[in-house]
Amino acid sequence: METTLRGVGVSHGVAIGEVRHMGTAVLEPPAKQIRPEDAEREQGRARKAVEAVAADLIARGNLAGGEAQAVLEAQAMMAQDPELMADVERRIAVGSTAERGVYDAFAMYREMLAGAGEYMAGRVADLDDVRNRIVARLLGVPMPGVPDSDEPYVLIARDLAPADTALLDPSLVLGFVTEEGGPTSHSAILARALGVPAVVALPGAKELAEGTLIAVDGSTGEIFVEPSQEKRGRLERAAAERKAALAASSGPGATSDGHKVPLLANVGGPADVPAAVEAGAEGVGLFRTEFLFLDDSKQAPSEEKQVEAYRKVLEAFPEGRVVVRVLDAGADKPLDFLTPADEPNPALGVRGLRSLLDHPDVLRTQLTALSKAVAGLPVYLEVMAPMVADRTDAKAFADACREAGLQAKFGAMVEIPSAALRARSILQEVEFLSLGTNDLAQYTFAADRQVGAVSRLQDPWQPALLDLVALSAEAAKAEGKSCGVCGEAASDPLLACVLTGLGVTSLSMGAASIPYVRATLAKYTLAQCERAAAAARAADTAEEARVAAQAVLSGE
């Protein structure tokens, strides 16, 4: 009998296939004591296992490239944390086996992370995966990972670790469903990059029996269990129509009446550029530069290394627009040389621009490197600061850009509600705004973007979030300046129409979403988008906003 479940759709497309569950490693090793003379040997075993797991994560990152590489390198840094390793060795010295020492040390670190504020708690799943991989290697049991199968399937998991998601084979894994996670979790971001339909935050996902036939709609978040032939036919026809529309869509982003909406790509480094170019991106709306700094948490990369990496991206978009975000460190991206180690709540502490202003040499080097990288290139460079709270922040950043001799437009990200509320004030100091809807939702609703239990508050359709977008766009229009969106909200084709109706002037997203957004925008006039935006803002809930906008655009 057909039943329907609903989670949070995070990656477009429809997948129909049988359920396969993610395998798990033995989580807790036996608590047995070793002889004192065996401690040194066990410590050596632990060190070798940690280094092997770190090397494996880095190798997987190198294969995957792009955003996945940065995520996996951050996990490798977790594995090699010197304080954590010292704790493992202390536990072994007083009688623990290598595997038990690792398990107990990680448990202590896990408890600290879980209690360090919701933002850091979102890293617990990544930490658990690192622990499981080390313990599995020490016990000689299979690594946690995707199941072996010769036939395509839909993967079900409590959550997916980045190391698993990054190397999924789309020819076998038709789509995936997780019980935890949110629309901006690592799994969701990597699913969009792979182009794999995905639904997260589905209560009871693990109860779906192995071999059950399900249909996953990554756009709506619906899961159809044992769908009828009629339902399967409808879903397959809709998917075919969508594919045909994508194939027919090309050129710059615009509404059906010619209102231009540049469609840009979010990139995490040079490895993401080919997909962005292939998707027809008109430039880069968010160039995340953290990938360079995660290679070594002890020191910043040299100016020469930065120049080389930036130039590779800038060269790919002649006559295009490339918006670079300066280093956004802190919270879930701590760096030993930059961020405090003892902050009680890193997400609300010294993060982003605040860290850079505390370390002006790091900011100066990055700005100088960007200035050298763009020299002689026919590209429109724009540079923006993360976590801008007010005009004082904006002025400090603009002054730093000028002092570095940077020939570019300077902008501010709107990720904190205060920046949206005082956007006109901030625009007295900078030339453009860019809305990071992931963090803006997190700070507006006090809802961690990695925690599935509060996923309804991370939904970018929340009317309160749309109000803040509208405030920012209206302020930019009044000042004759631009206001783009570079958060994951832009990757939702229907929401892209609403954002356009709110007055947003450009949309930036993962490359895989660009064709969907381009095709959808081209179906509607600017006036229709504006009416859909008004209807969405008049709603009281995210779901009501989505339904209201859809009704306007479908002419109901």
Tell me the catalytic residues.
186, 486
Cβ–Cβ under 8 Å, residues 235 and 14: yes
Cα 446 from Cα 435, distance rounded (Å): 17
> Which residue, 183, 179, 203, is CA-closest to 191?
183
Which DSSP helix (H) or strand (E) runs through 323? strand 321-325
Half-sphere exposure of 492 (CA within 13 A, CB side): 25
Structure tokens at 249: 């869509």
Whose tokens are 């655009």? That residue is 553
Burial of 366 (0-12, 13-18, 19+ CB in 10 A): buried
The dihedrals phi and psi of 324, each to the nearest 5 degrees, come to -100, 130
What does each C-alpha distance from 149 to 162, 411, 556 come to in angstroms? 20, 49, 45
Cα 250 from Cα 260, distance rounded (Å): 13
> Which residue, 455, 398, 467, 464, is CA-closest to 427?
398
Is residue 319 left, alpha or beta, with left meaning phi > 0 and alpha meaning psi from -120 to 50? left
Cβ–Cβ under 8 Å, residues 160 and 187: yes
Cβ–Cβ under 8 Å, residues 29 and 164: no
The dihedrals phi and psi of 383, each to the nearest 5 degrees, come to -125, 130
What does each C-alpha distance from 15 to 213, 222, 223, 247, 367 come to in angstroms? 10, 11, 10, 19, 44
| Helices then strands, each counted (H, E), the chain | 24, 16
Contacts of 399 (CB under 8 A, 6+ apart): none
Cα 494 from Cα 122, distance rounded (Å): 28
**Radius of gyration of the chain measured on its C-alpha atoms:** 24
What does each C-alpha distance from 113 to 30, 39, 105, 121 come to in angstroms? 24, 28, 12, 6
Cα 301 from Cα 281, distance rounded (Å): 28
**Amino acid letter, residue 430:** V
